[in-house]
Structures are given as structure tokens and as C-alpha cells.
């Protein structure tokens, strides 16, 4: 991969990916906005700027609602990537109003704090069962045994994906998410395309089945909304389900294992948490700030903007560094300190503006449930081996987290 410029930013360097926070501090010192040639993006690293840009309607997750590719100065993706783009481009995360508003309104009914609160007993019971399994085995991989099965089961249950069909969900999701890394390789693209085709075919069949035999699940709900007011096309339904299934677990898995790894590296903080479980809500927020699970989000410049005197023209791309924003000393006192009792914590890990994470209330319930179950049922939990980090920077996490329970 091309060597980056003079900037303290090298998302392909394993040392940077392992701990990007010191480099972010340097980057923030270097100014409010810097051009990064290897990805042809403008990097924004300060909390105030990231927060403002996420709400700025001159930027968009897509430009295709306003401009053609050539008109916007961009080359269209190669035709062989088409299945990935068809799937991705019809999900609400990659749409702008009015399509975004229409789809988000429909889906958000399933994610209001009150609706999600009703899932809490189920989530807590499942977290307890998973942790009991880990304890009975004397330990294991926290990612494989607890962090991953919990959110996958919850979102699959909400959508009504039968248990027997769930095994390929994780590999499909991982392959599709490979496309969200910076400058994905052809190999990553080929995997994403294959997964997009298989995942879409699976959901098309499931939607057809639910159309015949509706159930008490989100897919049936979306079909009903579709049939009543013709408000979701078949493709939008498929894309919405894939987005919910992928977004519904990728970041939660990484938040759980990144969080526990941070706890193991801060035994004083872990001891304080073990002594006082009322710290769980602030601990969940602090761990998401301290080691941000999704490091970078992009926006297209739809209408020229100016940041600190630098004009950024239409057609350019901005890369907002969430992990850096979450460590900005202008907002967070002593940002490199893990403080599970931190109260003033306006972290940006769930984004802001119209694409603010629709699943945030559910994610918070899941993270608190697994943390509480691990504190209650595995009080002697400890690290068994130094974890191996995934090479990914954008969706940043560990390959696994081996633990022991004495
Ligand atoms: C710790 C866990 C999670 C984190 C850190 C997270 C983070 C995010 C972020 C940063 C965005 C917006 C990206 C942008 O502005 O470009 C987002 C959007 C979204 N998230 Fe989450 N998320 C998490 C869990 C979930 C869960 C559990 C679900 C669903 C069950 C979910 C569903 C979504 C959806 C559908 C969107 C798109 C919203 C829109 O475009 O309007 N997320 N998430």
C-alpha cells in the first residue's frame, strides 16, 4: 500500500492500527483538516468538526440522489462489483432524504427505546446462559462464546431468521464489511460480491416465505408496511435486512472484546467495576469512547464547504476520525485515561445527525447485559493469552479474546 505523506496517519501500519491514539494526538496538532493522498480524502480529527460535519447537510453518505458518477467527478464502480453496490446502495445508511427518511421512519418503529426495552429480559437471559457456558468450560474465547452469539441471536430473532439458518450470517457479514475498509483489494471485493449475492438470495426466499406465512417479526412487519402503502421496494427490504443484520452485530462484538481487553489492561478499573456494578452504565459508554469500535466514517461533499480557511470542493470526500474525536482533550478531560465513572462523556461512537445509530438503545442493552453477566457469573474472569488484532482499521477489533475462569 502507498506510503502515506508526512501525516501521522497510516491505516495500513499494524502498529498504528494497534494503537492509533498517539498518532491522532499528533494529527490534531497538525491542523483541523488535512488532505490524505493515499485515499484521496480530507481527514478531520477534532471532535467539534466531526460533530458539526455529521449534521451538515452539504455533505452526504451518497451523492447519487443528486449527481451521476461522471458529473460528480468519480468513476462508476466496475460492473462485476454490481451485486455489492445494489445491496449497499439501497440500505438506509447509504441513502439520503427523501429515501432515507421513508425507510428510517418504517424501521425506527422497531427500535424505539420503549420497544427495545421489551427485549431486555430476553437479552439478559441469553447473556446469562452464554456466560454460564463459558464458566462451565473453565474459559474459552470471549468473542466466539459470548460477544458474537449474543447480538447475532438478538438481531436474527428480531428479524425472524430461523436458528438453523444463522451459521452463514457472520461470514456473509464479515465479507461484505471488508468493503468498508480503506482501499479494499480486488480479493476483498470478490468476497463481498459473492456474499452479497448469497445473502440477497437467501433473504429474497425468506421474504417470499414470510409473505405467504407472516409471523410476529420485523421482516413480516416490513412486508405489511410495503403491501399497505408500497413504501419499501423488494430491494430496499433485502438491503434493510442485511444492514440490520450486519450493523446489528459487527460493532457490538468489537465493543465487547475491545472493552474487556481494555479492562484487563487496567486492573484497578476492573477491580472498581467488580466492587461496584452500578458503574456498568458509565463503563459501557467509557469503553466505547476509550477504544472506539468504528474508527472512520466518510461523507461526500455535495456542496463546497470551508474548514479553517481550506476550501473543500464538491466531489471531494471527507474522512471523519471517530477515535480521534473521542480522544480530543478539548472535550474530554484527560482523554487517554480510562475512567469508568466518567460522567461528562459526549462520545461520538454512535455518530450524529440523520444517520445516528438506530440501534444505539439496543446496543447499550446488549453491552450492559454481557458485562453484568460476566461480572456476576464469572467474577474470576482473567486474560489467558495476549489477543491477536485483526488488520482492519475502520471496523477495528480482535480475532478473539482467550479468557480463563478459575
Ligand atoms: C456498539 C454498537 C454499535 C455502534 C458503535 C454503532 C455505530 C453506528 C454508527 C457510527 C452509525 C452511523 C454511521 C454514519 O454516520 O455514517 C450507525 C448507523 C446505524 N446502525 Fe449502529 N452501531 C452499533 C450497534 C447497532 C445495532 C445493535 C444496530 C441494529 C440492531 C445498528 C443499526 C444501525 C443502522 C440501521 C444504522 C443506519 C442508520 C441510518 O443510516 O439512518 N447499530 N451505527
For residue 196 and ligand 1, the question of a CB distance below 6 A is answered with no
> What mean pLDDT comes out for the span 37-55?
97
Q: 3-state DSSP call for residue 36?
A: strand
For residue 355 and ligand 1, the question of a CB distance below 6 A is answered with yes
For residue 258 and ligand 1, the question of a CB distance below 6 A is answered with no
Atom of ligand 1 nearest to the CA of 362: 27
**What digits encode the pLDDT tens for the residues 141-186?**
999 999 999 999 999 999 999 999 999 999 999 999 898 888 899 9
Q: How open is the CA angle 45-51-57, to the nearest 5 degrees?
A: 115
Choose among 204, 284, 232: nearest CA to 109.
Answer: 232
List of domains in the chain: 14-405 (1.10.630.10)
Kind and range of the H or E element at 62?
none
Alpha helices in 5-81 (DSSP H): 14-18, 21-29, 47-54
For residue 53 and ligand 1, the question of a CB distance below 6 A is answered with no
**What digits encode the pLDDT tens for the residues 204-231?**
999 999 999 999 899 998 888 765 555 7
Among 116, 248, 359, 364, the mutation site with the greatest number of ligand 1 atoms within 8 A of its Cβ is 359
CA-nearest residue, atom 40 of ligand 1: 93
Among 247, 254, 297, the mutation site with the greatest number of ligand 1 atoms within 8 A of its Cβ is 247
For residue 150 and ligand 1, the question of a CB distance below 6 A is answered with no
Residue 6 confidence (pLDDT) above 80: no
For residue 51 and ligand 1, the question of a CB distance below 6 A is answered with no
**What digits encode the pLDDT tens for the residues 243-262?**
999 998 999 999 999 999 99
pTM, whole model, 2 decimals? 0.95
> What mean pLDDT comes out for the span 25-51?
96
Atom of ligand 1 nearest to the CA of 54: 15
For residue 357 and ligand 1, the question of a CB distance below 6 A is answered with yes
Phi, psi of 359 (to 5 degrees): -95, 5
Q: 3-state DSSP call for residue 331?
A: coil
Q: Are 384 and 402 in contact (CB under 8 A)?
A: yes
Atom of ligand 1 nearest to the CA of 366: 27
Q: What percent of the chain has pLDDT over 90?
A: 89
pLDDT for residue 3: 44
Residue 378 confidence (pLDDT) above 50: yes
Cβ-Cβ contacts under 8 Å for 260 (sequence gap 6 or more): 142, 374, 401, 403
User: Over the chain, what is the mean pLDDT?
Assistant: 94
Choose among 270, 273, 296, 302: nearest CA to 392.
Answer: 296
**What digits encode the pLDDT tens for the residues 93-121?**
999 999 999 999 989 888 888 889 999 99
**Per-residue three-class SS string for 254-272:** HHHHHHHHHHHHCHHHHHH
Atom of ligand 1 nearest to the CA of 294: 5
Amino acid at each position: 500500500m502507498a506510503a502515506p505523506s508526512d501525516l501521522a496517519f497510516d491505516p495500513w501500519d499494524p502498529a498504528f492500527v494497534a494503537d492509533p491514539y498517539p498518532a491522532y494526538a499528533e494529527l490534531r496538532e497538525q491542523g483541523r483538516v488535512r488532505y490524505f493522498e493515499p485515499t484521496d480524502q480530507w481527514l478531520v480529527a477534532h471532535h467539534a468538526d466531526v460533530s458539526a460535519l455529521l449534521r451538515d447537510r452539504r455533505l452526504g453518505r451518497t451523492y447519487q440522489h443528486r449527481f451521476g458518477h461522471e458529473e460528480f467527478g468519480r468513476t462508476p464502480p466496475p460492473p462485476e462489483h454490481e451485486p455489492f453496490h445494489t445491496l449497499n446502495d439501497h440500505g438506509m445508511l447509504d441513502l439520503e432524504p427523501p429515501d432515507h427518511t421513508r425507510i428510517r421512519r418504517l424501521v425506527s418503529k422497531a427500535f424505539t427505546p420503549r420497544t427495545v426495552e421489551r427485549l431486555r429480559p430476553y437479552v439478559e437471559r441469553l447473556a446469562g446462559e452464554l456466560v454460564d457456558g463459558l464458566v462451565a468450560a473453565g474459559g474459552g474465547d470471549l468473542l466466539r462464546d459470548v460477544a458474537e452469539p449474543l447480538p447475532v441471536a438478538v438481531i436474527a430473532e428480531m428479524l425472524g431468521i430461523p436458528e438453523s439458518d444463522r451459521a452463514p450470517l457472520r461470514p456473509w457479514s464479515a465479507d461484505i464489511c471488508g468493503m468498508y475498509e480503506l482501499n479494499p483489494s480486488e480479493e476483498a471485493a470478490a468476497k463481498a460480491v459473492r456474499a452479497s449475492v448469497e445473502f440477497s438470495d437467501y433473504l429474497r426466499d425468506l421474504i417470499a416465505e414470510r409473505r405467504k406465512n407472516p409471523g410476529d417479526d420485523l421482516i413480516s412487519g416490513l412486508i405489511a408496511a410495503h403491501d399497505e402503502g408500497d413504501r419499501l421496494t423488494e430491494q430496499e427490504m433485502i438491503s434493510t435486512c442485511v444492514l440490520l443484520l450486519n450493523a446489528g452485530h459487527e460493532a457490538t462484538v468489537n465493543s465487547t472484546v475491545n472493552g474487556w481487553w481494555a479492562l484487563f489492561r487496567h486492573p484497578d478499573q476492573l477491580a472498581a467495576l467488580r466492587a461496584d456494578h452500578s458503574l456498568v452504565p458509565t463503563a459501557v459508554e467509557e469503553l466505547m469512547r476509550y477504544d472506539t469500535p468504528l474508527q472512520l466514517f466518510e461523507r461526500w461533499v455535495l456542496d463546497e464547504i470551508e474548514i479553517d480557511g481550506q476550501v473543500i470542493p464538491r466531489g471531494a470526500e471527507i474522512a471523519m476520525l471517530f477515535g480521534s474525536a473521542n480522544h480530543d482533550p478539548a472535550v474530554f478531560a484527560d482523554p487517554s485515561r480510562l475512567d469508568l465513572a466518567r460522567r461528562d462523556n459526549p462520545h461520538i461512537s454512535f455518530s450524529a445527525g440523520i444517520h445516528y445509530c438506530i440501534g444505539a438503545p439496543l446496543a447499550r442493552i446488549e453491552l450492559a447485559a454481557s458485562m453484568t453477566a460476566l461480572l456476576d457469573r464469572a467474577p474470576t474472569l482473567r486474560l489467558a493469552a495476549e489477543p491477536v488484532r485483526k488488520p482492519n482499521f475502520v471496523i477495528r477489533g480482535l480475532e478473539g479474546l482467550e479468557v480463563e475462569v478459575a
